[in-house]
């Protein structure tokens, strides 16, 4: 099995390429901390980063802080987390469309 992928505090485990049966995939997805839970956690974390960046900008604009560097870092983190979530969404939509094109 390959090493897990880390996104912030969440860990996405990669699936071994040698899957024995479709039932084992369902069992893997049904475990605690399944794909859906990991995806929800990653989305919540990206939302938290966006909110922190918004608060940093508000603090800078109202004069509560003069630290423009931390504000810019917070904005860049928010931008990168948003870009990552968009790429994940694009991959999921692409996989869904590919499944829809399969003939049964």
pLDDT: is 32 or 58 the higher one? 58
State the pLDDT at residue 24. Answer: 52
Note the pLDDT of residue 16: 41
Q: Per-residue confidence at 99, pLDDT binned at 50, 70, 90?
A: very high
Rounded mean pLDDT, 39-55: 95
Residue 13: what pLDDT?
47
Region 39-52: what's the mean pLDDT? 95
DSSP one-letter string for 74-102: HHHHHHHHHHHHHHHHHHHHHHHHHHHH-
pLDDT at 104: 82
Contacts of 76 (CB under 8 A, 6+ apart): none
């Amino acid at each position: 099995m390959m090493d897990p992928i880390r996104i912030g505090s969440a860990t996405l485990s990669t699936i071994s390429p040698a899957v024995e049966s479709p039932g084992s995939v369902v069992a893997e997805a049904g475990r605690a901390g399944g794909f859906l839970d990991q995806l929800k956690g990653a989305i919540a974390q990206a939302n938290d980063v966006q909110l922190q960046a918004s608060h940093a900008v508000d603090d800078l604009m109202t004069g509560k802080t003069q630290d423009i560097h931390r504000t810019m870092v917070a904005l860049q983190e928010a931008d990168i987390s948003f870009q990552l979530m968009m790429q994940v969404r694009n991959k999921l939509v692409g996989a869904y469309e590919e499944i829809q094109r399969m003939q049964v």
